[in-house]
Structure 1
Amino acid sequence: MKAKNHNTNREKRAMKKRFRTAVFLLLFAGIVLTVFRYFKLVSKTVYEESVSHLTEVFHQSDNMLRELTDKNLTYLHMWGAYLQETSDEDKIRDYIENAQKDAGFLNFYFLSTDGNYKMLTGETGYLDLQENFEDEIQNGNDIVTNAVVPGKSQMLVFASPRAHGNYQGFGYDAIAIAYENSDIVNVLDISAFHGNAKSYVVHPDGRVVVDHSFKEWGNAYNFFGILREHSNIPEKEILELSGKFKAGDTDAMLVNLDGKNYYLVYEKSEIQDWVFLGLVKAEIVNASMNVLQRSTMMLVGIVALSVAGLFIWLILRKSRVSLKKKDTEILYREELFQKLSMNVDDVFLMLDAKTYKTDYVSPNVEKLLGITIEQIRKDICVLGKLHPQKSEDPKKNYLEKIQVDEQKEGDFEYVHQKTGEQRWFHNIAMCSEVNGKKKYILVMSDRTSDKKMNQALYEAVHAAENANKAKSTFLSNMSHDIRTPMNAIIGFTTLAVSNIDNKKKVRDYLGKILSSSNHLLSLINDIL
């Protein structure tokens, strides 16, 4: 019978042990799953915020390119009107040379529909244009395209068919100006990432119009060729991306180029069928967000470990209670509590509700508060010295109104009595009845590190908000300043067209347009 009872008790203990183990595993799995989902959410948020910021930055660069295009085509229309009215080649040469100084383009061309050209100097040649130039000229459409002249670097050409005639015996059907690729790149230069952002302007089939790639990649002729050479993106995904370009989509994605992650942002440009692309290393974009992410993850990890540690401690304590007799259990429990309290940032006190004599003080009190156990046992009022002089009355009794099974919580600012360091504690005061006697239990949790971390996080968020406000203010002021000379240009251009037969008025209007254009150019240069 005794053996049978012994086996039954042993089976019960084994079942309890398996039950505790199962509960622990479930709790641990729940914590891991929660932390994993939280980290996934944080990563998704970082990605969305980074993409939103990049899209806005590169959209501004696309606007700069569009403004440059509009400006140059406006110049060409204005110069074309002048050429139609003037046949004196010396006046034409002087006029175009002055225009080149004002506008800053590289070359001026008189073009025929077959791509042959003549310059002011009399130099002739052939522009290898990448578009169906002849059809566009015959249809009277303005053209912006790449061009190659033998022995020279690639250029971006702006052409207008609104002027046609004869210059030095050369019959022309359009006039054009050209910029080197490097000049266009300077216009698109993005200072938001300290020169680490690269951009392209491409056709939907990937042909590069403006190349602002990394030096180690060399000259880029097709963006999809860069992806095929420097990434492991499957051909199927590259074709899907090409389809999105052709559809005029605006989107972003993460790509791995030469072993490093990049954010790729693209949007349909308002110029012809072009697509504007932006590339920035992910580590540069996410630098500030990663600091906040790591701090948050560390805090979450600490909380999760604390919960797991507390649960382990409860299991250990319950296991020891079940193995020893009552007196031994009490001894072991006290010893365990003593050891744990030396390694946590919580001070535990138990007081008699009538005499306020200290029944128990955790041994870490001197480390956290700078007061010895003997001082507290001698007079509990010594805790009042912890309060700074400007705080509430240190002699005020916060415990007397707490009833049995009630508790009060509060945050307090203390001064370490040995180091003089300012520290923050979260206090929990409880009232309990032990052996018919009313006892107060006080738990003082050191939250100084949390306070400092929260302050650091607050300052980081505040700095980010200030930066965002400054950016918004800058964009608002920039838009207002640019709109003023642009309105003048449009207005005087309209007046010039309305008075096209009055040379005096037209010349006056054109002078004002040039003045406003120069002012607009100076604004853009200041912005850049």
Structure 2
Amino acid sequence: MEDTKHKIKIKRHSRRNWHAAVACLLSIALLVCLSAQYLSFVSKTIYAESTQHLGEVLHKSNNMLSMIVKKNTSYLHVWNGFLSSDPDDASTQAYLESAQQQLGFAEFYFLSYDGNYMTPSGKTGYLGLQSNLDEQLSDQKDVVLNTALPGQDPMLVFICPETKGIYRGFAYDAIAIGHYNNVVMKAVDDSAFGGAASSFVIYPDGQVVIENISEDSESIYNFIAILQEYSDLTEAQIQELTDDFAQGITGNREVTLDGTRFYMVYESTGIQNWILVGLVPRDTVNAAMNRLWQRTMQIVALVVLSIAAMVLLMVMHRGRTKLRRQNTAILYRDVLFEKLSQNVDDVFLLLDAQKHRADYVSPNIKRLLGLTPESVRKNIGTLALLYPVDSPGRTKNYLEGLACGDQREWDTEFVHQETGEHRWFHVVAMGSEVEGQTKHILVLSDRTADRQANQALSDAVAAAENANRAKSTFLSNMSHDIRTPMNAIIGFTTLAVSHLDDRDRVKDYLTKILASGNHLLSLINDILDMSRIESGKIQLDETEVNLSDVLHDIKTIVSGQFYAKQLELYMDAIDITDEDVYCDKTRLNQVLMNLLSNAIKFTPRRRHGVAAGAPACRPGQRLRAV
């Protein structure tokens, strides 16, 4: 039973600790949420830092592109000054070839409005430009265009329409120098991302002016068209991006191309209406950030796990401590209950109503009923042996129908199985529910001592009632006995008053009055002696007494009664050797007076004599006392 109670209480404590575990889980969930928010903040911060870094790189490239354009147009203006001096063809060729060697441009061109050209060496051809040259030169402003000659790589051509003239018979309207795109973009791009980045100079409509792409990428003609076909951007997002290009707005966004996530930044170059676009894989830009991100996630995860572990350990430690204290308290209560049950006259039992077995039996059952707790737990039917053989309790089920919350009480008689002593118990049965199972709690209170005390009290009451009845009878009898000497006193007093002149007769009457008074006094003392007898304080007053005097006094007292019933009393002492004896005279007078009073009382009004104490008298006999 102790193990069962312990397990039940542990389950209850486990349920209580479940609330603590829930609180712990909620705390962990809160930490996870906070960590998620923190990671989201870190992610946004990383994106902002990455795009800012990429924007700085792009701006640096933009500055470099502007510097290249400005430097090349400046060269053209210097050469325009040389050509305006009208040098001969040989000098012009030598001068321009020397400049090409020094500056490293791809080629120098004398251009006409229709796009035809002649090089300093006299080579002619058509410069295939992306737009009409006459429209570009009509404003007499410097122009930068891209071109692709047959059998050559794409070039960026810088054109200055400031000087017009004739070279080797070729009439030209502008001069120009060309740089290969890869050389220009190499100068523009400082390879900050190890060749993983792609750079594009485009028009607002997406047409690519020049590009610098990674080795495994293909050249593209229109950047916006590529985004429409291969990116995850919606039409609205692409339109928004196109508007930014048209307005020269600087911006950034994330875009997915062929499954790869890119950071895209764009900025107006200020050169004509070009837009410089940088496209770098996010993982490349975030290489360092990703390491920081991973380390941050590891640290956050470690912190969360550490805090969770600490909270869990604290909860577990607290739970163990609380459970240990509760187990200690349970143990103390069990020991205290066992010790108390050993010293009380109440037997406690916990019975399983479904399994018909005893889950707990207090150890004092052996002392009070002679059964061992083990025998009752082994076989609950052993309790039926407590009833006497002829008692209906051996077969009656007092617990039948006892539901949870009900209580029954009854008194019964049990037989102590070791001593055979009959003992009386007051039984209280209560229905209860433990872990969904119906249990019956029995408390058997030994009332044997109370019953014996009640029986002794009943006997004492009966004895007192008998004593009261005896007293009443005694007083009734005494009232009759008192009247005898009183009648004698009154009668002799009346006679004495009537014969005052006869001294001898008055003296005789007074003597008889005195004897009757002494007897009356003895009767009164007898009444007082009743209280002494009841309290155990009676004492005998042994003195020297003359039997003849005693008989004479008795005769004097009762003589009036004899006369009244017309009886005669004859007294003599037969075979009495010694008339003087030691005795309690009062007690002797009481005995003799009771005998004579009974004789007078039960003798008819006739003249006859009987021996004192005889049951009846024949006619003609006299009453005789011996």
CA distance in 2, matches of 1:145, 1:74: 16
CA distance in 1, matches of 2:165, 2:12: 107
CA distance in 1, matches of 2:291, 2:328: 49
Task: State whether residues 129 and 145 of structure 1, in contact with CA within 8 Å, keep that contact through their aligned partners in structure 2.
Answer: yes
CA distance in 1, matches of 2:161, 2:330: 100
CA distance in 2, matches of 1:285, 1:236: 26
CA distance in 2, matches of 1:323, 1:19: 14
CA distance in 2, matches of 1:53, 1:325: 61
Please list, as runs of the form range in 1=range in 2, the aligned pairs for 1:83-102 lying within 5 A after superposition: 83-102=83-102
Identify the residue that residue 80 of structure 1 maps to in structure 2: 80
Identify the residue that residue 216 of structure 1 maps to in structure 2: 216
Task: State whether residues 197 and 214 of structure 2, in contact with CA within 8 Å, keep that contact through their aligned partners in structure 1.
Answer: no
Residue 287 of structure 2 is aligned to residue 287 of structure 1: yes
Identify the residue that residue 598 of structure 2 maps to in structure 1: none
Task: State whether residues 213 and 220 of structure 1, in contact with CA within 8 Å, keep that contact through their aligned partners in structure 2.
Answer: no
Secondary structure of the 1:191 match is coil
Identify the residue that residue 62 of structure 1 maps to in structure 2: 62
Structure 1 pair 146/36, CA: closer, same or farther in 2 (3 Å)?
Answer: same
CA distance in 2, matches of 1:110, 1:207: 27
The one-letter code of the counterpart of 1:113 is Y
Secondary structure of the 2:27 match is helix
CA distance in 1, matches of 2:318, 2:235: 61
Residue 236 of structure 2 is aligned to residue 236 of structure 1: yes
Structure 1 pair 36/329, CA: closer, same or farther in 2 (3 Å)?
Answer: farther
Q: Which whole-Å deviations, capped at 9, do the CAs of 1:96-121 have from their partners, x for residues lacking one?
A: 11111122111111111121222223
Secondary structure of the 1:128 match is coil
Q: Which whole-Å deviations, capped at 9, do the CAs of 1:298-353 have from their partners, x for residues lacking one?
A: 2222222222223223333444455555564899xxxxxxxxxxxxxxxxxxxxxx
Task: State whether residues 190 and 197 of structure 1, in contact with CA within 8 Å, keep that contact through their aligned partners in structure 2.
Answer: no
Secondary structure of the 1:131 match is coil
Identify the residue that residue 371 of structure 1 maps to in structure 2: none
Aligned length in residues = 325
Structure 2 unaligned residues grouped into runs of 5+:
1-8, 332-626
Deviation at 1:88, TM superposition (A): 1.3
Deviation at 1:145, TM superposition (A): 0.9
Deviation at 1:205, TM superposition (A): 1.2
Task: State whether residues 128 and 147 of structure 2, in contact with CA within 8 Å, keep that contact through their aligned partners in structure 1.
Answer: yes
Q: Which whole-Å deviations, capped at 9, do the CAs of 1:358-403 have from their partners, x for residues lacking one?
A: xxxxxxxxxxxxxxxxxxxxxxxxxxxxxxxxxxxxxxxxxxxxxx
Identify the residue that residue 127 of structure 1 maps to in structure 2: 127
The one-letter code of the counterpart of 1:190 is D
The one-letter code of the counterpart of 1:47 is Y
Residue 147 of structure 2 is aligned to residue 147 of structure 1: yes
The one-letter code of the counterpart of 1:43 is S
Identify the residue that residue 30 of structure 1 maps to in structure 2: 30
Q: Percent identity?
A: 41
Q: Which whole-Å deviations, capped at 9, do the CAs of 1:153-212 have from their partners, x for residues lacking one?
A: 321110011010112222111111111212212212323222222211111111111111
Secondary structure of the 2:216 match is helix
Structure 1 pair 12/270, CA: closer, same or farther in 2 (3 Å)?
Answer: same
Please list, as runs of the form range in 1=range in 2, the aligned pairs for 1:385-400 lying within 5 A after superposition: none
Please list, as runs of the form range in 1=range in 2, the aligned pairs for 1:151-166 lying within 5 A after superposition: 151-166=151-166
The one-letter code of the counterpart of 1:205 is D
The one-letter code of the counterpart of 1:196 is A
Residue 209 of structure 2 is aligned to residue 200 of structure 1: no
Secondary structure of the 1:166 match is strand
Question: Greater CA radius of gyration, 1 or 2?
Answer: 2
CA distance in 1, matches of 2:198, 2:163: 37
CA distance in 2, matches of 1:227, 1:330: 76
Identify the residue that residue 508 of structure 2 maps to in structure 1: none
Identify the residue that residue 378 of structure 1 maps to in structure 2: none
The one-letter code of the counterpart of 1:287 is A
CA distance in 1, matches of 2:216, 2:234: 23
The one-letter code of the counterpart of 1:49 is E
Deviation at 1:21, TM superposition (A): 5.0
Identify the residue that residue 273 of structure 1 maps to in structure 2: 273
Task: State whether residues 81 and 162 of structure 1, in contact with CA within 8 Å, keep that contact through their aligned partners in structure 2.
Answer: no
CA distance in 1, matches of 2:71, 2:320: 84
Deviation at 1:26, TM superposition (A): 2.9
- What is the RMSD of the two structures over their aligned residues, measured on CA atoms? 2.9
CA distance in 2, matches of 1:329, 1:36: 44
Residue 220 of structure 2 is aligned to residue 227 of structure 1: no
Q: Which whole-Å deviations, capped at 9, do the CAs of 1:62-85 have from their partners, x for residues lacking one?
A: 111111111110111111121121
Structure 1 pair 329/102, CA: closer, same or farther in 2 (3 Å)?
Answer: farther
Secondary structure of the 2:141 match is coil
CA distance in 2, matches of 1:328, 1:317: 16
Secondary structure of the 1:249 match is coil
Task: State whether residues 197 and 213 of structure 2, in contact with CA within 8 Å, keep that contact through their aligned partners in structure 1.
Answer: no
CA distance in 1, matches of 2:82, 2:214: 42
Deviation at 1:11, TM superposition (A): 12
Please list, as runs of the form range in 1=range in 2, the aligned pairs for 1:308-457 lying within 5 A after superposition: 308-321=308-321, 323=323, 326=326, 328=328
The one-letter code of the counterpart of 1:180 is Y
Structure 1 pair 149/330, CA: closer, same or farther in 2 (3 Å)?
Answer: farther
Identify the residue that residue 453 of structure 1 maps to in structure 2: none
CA distance in 1, matches of 2:268, 2:59: 10
Structure 1 unaligned residues grouped into runs of 5+:
1-8, 332-528
The one-letter code of the counterpart of 2:139 is N
Task: State whether residues 118 and 170 of structure 2, in contact with CA within 8 Å, keep that contact through their aligned partners in structure 1.
Answer: yes
TM-score, length basis structure 2: 0.48
Residue 215 of structure 2 is aligned to residue 187 of structure 1: no
Secondary structure of the 1:125 match is strand
